[in-house]
Chains A and B, each alone.
Chain A
C-alpha cells in the first residue's frame, strides 16, 4: 500500500482561485517535505515541516503539519499559471527496524492553472 496518500491526484483551477493539496500518512511523520516538479526537471524544494501544528509560508504557498503529525496540507492562494506543476510530498519515516529514517514520496498532484 502507498505509505503516503496525496489528494487530489490532479487539479485544474482557474487563475486566481485558491486550492489545497493534502498528504496523509497512516504513521507518524518525523519530517514532511513539500516539493514542486515539472516533467523533465529536478525537484524544487518548497518547505519542510517537523513539528506538529507547524505552519510555514513562502510567497502564496502555505503548508501545515497537523497536530498528530500524520497529515499535511499545502494551500495556494490566488493561484497563477506559474504555480502549475506536480506537487510532491515526501516524508521521513522510521524503517521497519526502527533505527533508520526512510524517505518516501506521495504519488504527486498535477496542478493545472488556466489563465
Chain B
C-alpha cells in the first residue's frame, strides 16, 4: 500500500542551527503536502499546506521565514526549521495527499521528533 516516509525520525541540534526534515510519498504522487506540529499533550496543529510547484500556504501564527517549506516534486516535500531554538522542539509530522492510480489517497508520515538544545 501507499506509504509516506519522513527523515530523520529523530534529530537533536544546537540552538541557532537549521534542521531539514524530508517527507516522501513512496507509492503515489503527492500533489498536496500538509505539515503539522504537535506539542506534548496537545493536538496536531496544521502549520502549512503546500501544492507541488507552488508556494506553501501558512496557517496564521506560523512564521514562513522560520519554517521553510519546499515541495519541488510530486514525491518530496521538505520542512526546514531555520535558526532553531528550544521552543521549536516538537514533533513534526507530514501528510501527503494524491492519487494512487485513480484512488484518492492521504497518509501521514511517521513523524520527526526535534529537540533543540
Name A residues whose Cβ lies closer than 8 Å to a Cβ of B: 31, 33, 35, 37, 39-40, 42-43, 45, 48, 50, 86, 90, 92, 100-103, 105
Contact = CB atoms under 8 A, between A and B. Distances in A.
Interface in B79-117: 91, 93, 95, 97, 104, 106, 108, 111, 113
B106 A103 contact: no
A100 B46 CA distance: 22
Contacts, number: 41
B91 A103 contact: yes
Interface residues of B, number: 20
B32 interface: yes
Contacts of B106: 37, 39-40, 86
Closest 5 CB pairs of A and B: A39-B104, A45-B43, A42-B46, A42-B34, A40-B97
B44 A40 contact: no
Determine chain A's interface SS by DSSP, over half rule.
strand
Contacts of B15: none
B40 A101 contact: yes
Task: Say what secondary structure dominates the interface of chain B.
Answer: strand
Nearest to A40: B97
Nearest to B59: A42
B36 A43 contact: yes
Interface of B: 32, 34, 36, 38, 40-44, 46, 49, 91, 93, 95, 97, 104, 106, 108, 111, 113
A92 B93 contact: no
A49 to B, nearest CB: 11
A43 B46 contact: yes
Contact of A43 (B41, B42, B95, B111): B95
A103 B41 contact: no
A10 to B, nearest CB: 13
Contacts of A90: 44
A33 B43 contact: yes
19 contacts: A35-B43, A35-B44, A39-B97, A40-B97, A40-B104, A40-B106, A42-B34, A42-B49, A42-B95, A43-B44, A43-B46, A45-B43, A50-B41, A86-B106, A90-B44, A92-B41, A102-B111, A103-B93, A105-B108
